[in-house]
Amino acid sequence: MRGLGWIGLGALMLSGHAFAGSISAPGVIGGPESGAATSNAASMYYNPATLAPMQGVHSMLDMQVAAVRIDFDATRNDGIDPNTGECYETATARVVAPVSHLGITTNVIPDRLTVGLGFSTPFLGGGDYTSTEKGEVPPYKGSQRYHAINTKVITAQVTTAVGVTLKDWLHLGAGFLYTYDLISVLKASDPLGTEGVPSDQLTDAVPANPYTTDVLLEGTATGHHLGWNLGFLLENEKGARLGGSYTSGGLFSTEGEGSVRVPEFIGGVTVPALLSVEMPLPAVVRLYGDAPVSKKWNVGAGVDYYLWNQCCGDPDGDIIIGITNQAGNAIGPDDGVTTITIDDVQYSPRRLWNSLGMSGLAGYQHSDKVWLGGRLGYNQNAVPDYAVGPSNLDFTSFGFMLGARYHLMGPATVGLSYSKFFLQTRNIVDSAWNLGDGNERFTTELPYTSSTNGVYSGAVDIVGVRVQMDW
């Protein structure tokens, strides 16, 4: 019997300042006016140069909760589950992603030097496809189960930054980033190789309930990586600003423990396992501008360009998954698993494109106490059609953000925001995900017998609250 792999362990990524339902969705930390040309206590995330003009001490707590909804109807094999001869059930992912940013800045040298410290969760991901299967026992039914039943990816980042004023019109900045990485996964694999085989080709080797033959991987891994960002800010005497920044890429790298449970017909054992996951992350280039158009109105626009292809456009960008027993060896007969050996190094191929997020924003100072603002955003997807699957999913998206702030008294200001992103439905008919024998990690060649063709749709809603103190 062939070796067993978990190709496709990657997650639906909700990224960047981004906690919407795609790899580089334009979610916004700090409110609708935030970006690479805005000075506030979240600006060190976008562009550390924007710290430089800030005088005094400023702090901000921005908390947002994103509700992500993804539905997937399989069309591969004419939408028929080859293990049961019945139509695939709709795979439904429901993810609630809480995101927060806490930042503080202080002016060290008046009109010359400002420093900042921030804590944020800049990169989230995952897909929980168990929501429509409550009451069932693993390995769960659904067209997604050989890709990712439940995956969570979390990063928590600490940013230290400095902004320097060289001229009244020129500011520069730099930041150092420390990021904590966490991934947890519940994943099934098919040791009989019957997924995607036409039902008229199945044999008596498939039990009456084929889902009982699935092998389950469950585990959690943690790690960390370092990064940096650089930026500039230009401004004139009329208040117009142009800011740009570059944030380095990184390597999501984790190690941890878990277990592999195999069915009765190949041993019926649960083997303690060592788990590792490495996943490259992209560099980001940002360019924003804003300007006052009257005493009350301010408008701006910007782009966020994610260099996914640079980090993940070839085999070097594949997610690398390590699964071994506690001794560091491939799980197999020595662990009580008969007839198969589980690959100790596996790959989840991606081959991503670069993606561009564009946004326009406007603010209206209604009174000394009330500010109103809005933002429109559009974002390209980063995943080509042939690489789309429940565990490697991205959408073209567009949406809006509305926000309001109220100055309470003294230094205190509070704000509320609401964002909604509409994800363009993707009808995938030529996916090559999860193909390849031997050393082949990925191929776009026919036949697509183990693909994830289907109709993917979703939506994202985000509610946020902001508390700001300015001295």
Residue 438 pLDDT level (bands cut at 50, 70, 90): very low
Give CA–CA dist 403/412, Å, rounded. Answer: 17
Mean pLDDT of all residues in 238-255: 94
| pLDDT (0 to 100) of residue 91 | 82
| pLDDT (0 to 100) of residue 72 | 85
**Does the pLDDT value for residue 446 go beyond 60?**
no
Mean pLDDT of all residues in 144-173: 88
Give CA–CA dist 300/295, Å, rounded. Answer: 15
Give CA angle at 130 (128, 136), nearest 5°. 165
Contacts of 384 (CB under 8 A, 6+ apart): 351, 352, 353
Tens digit of each residue's pLDDT (9 = 90 or more) over 83-124? 667 787 788 888 787 888 899 999 999 999 999 999 988 777
| pLDDT (0 to 100) of residue 458 | 87
The whole-chain average pLDDT of the chain stands at 82
Give CA–CA dist 318/312, Å, rounded. Answer: 7
For residue 117 the two structure tokens come to 């410290």
Mean pLDDT of all residues in 420-441: 70
Give CA angle at 248 (247, 249), nearest 5°. 125
Q: Where is average pLDDT lowest: 40-54, 185-199, 389-403?
A: 185-199
| pLDDT (0 to 100) of residue 394 | 85
End-to-end CA separation in angstroms for the chain: 69
**Does the pLDDT value for residue 129 go beyond 90?**
no
Mean pLDDT of all residues in 18-37: 66
Q: What count of other Cβ atoms lies within 10 Å of the Cβ of residue 112?
A: 12
Tens digit of each residue's pLDDT (9 = 90 or more) over 288-306? 999 999 999 999 999 999 9
Q: DSSP H helical segments within 285-350, as ranges?
A: 308-312
Would you list the domain boundaries of the chain? Answer: 13-470
**Does the pLDDT value for residue 51 go beyond 80?**
yes
- Cis? peptide before 139, omega within 30° of 0: yes
The total number of residues shown for the chain amounts to 471
| pLDDT (0 to 100) of residue 6 | 53
| pLDDT (0 to 100) of residue 319 | 84
3-class SS of residue 386? helix
Identity of the amino acid at 39: S
| pLDDT (0 to 100) of residue 347 | 78
Burial environment of residue 231 by CB neighbours within 10 A (0 to 12, 13 to 18, 19 or more): buried
Portion of the chain with pLDDT greater than 70, in percent: 80
**Does the pLDDT value for residue 24 go beyond 60?**
no
| pLDDT (0 to 100) of residue 4 | 56
| pLDDT (0 to 100) of residue 74 | 81
| pLDDT (0 to 100) of residue 449 | 39
3-class SS of residue 149? coil
Mean pLDDT of all residues in 215-223: 92
**Does the pLDDT value for residue 203 go beyond 70?**
no
Higher confidence at residue 452 or residue 237?
237
**CATH code for the structural domain at 13-470:** 2.40.160.60
Candidate ranges 74-78, 181-185, 220-224; pick with highest mean pLDDT? 220-224
Are 172 and 163 in contact by the 8 Å Cβ rule? The answer is yes
Residue 21 pLDDT level (bands cut at 50, 70, 90): very low
| pLDDT (0 to 100) of residue 408 | 92
pTM: 0.88
3-class SS of residue 205? coil
**Does the pLDDT value for residue 437 go beyond 90?**
no
| pLDDT (0 to 100) of residue 122 | 74
Task: Identify the helix (H) or strand (E) that includes residue 312.
Answer: helix 308-312
Portion of the chain with pLDDT greater than 90, in percent: 44
| pLDDT (0 to 100) of residue 276 | 95
Mean pLDDT of all residues in 134-157: 71
Burial environment of residue 234 by CB neighbours within 10 A (0 to 12, 13 to 18, 19 or more): middle
Tens digit of each residue's pLDDT (9 = 90 or more) over 3-12? 455 544 444 4
Give CA–CA dist 340/394, Å, rounded. Answer: 34
**Does the pLDDT value for residue 26 go beyond 60?**
no
**Does the pLDDT value for residue 31 go beyond 70?**
yes
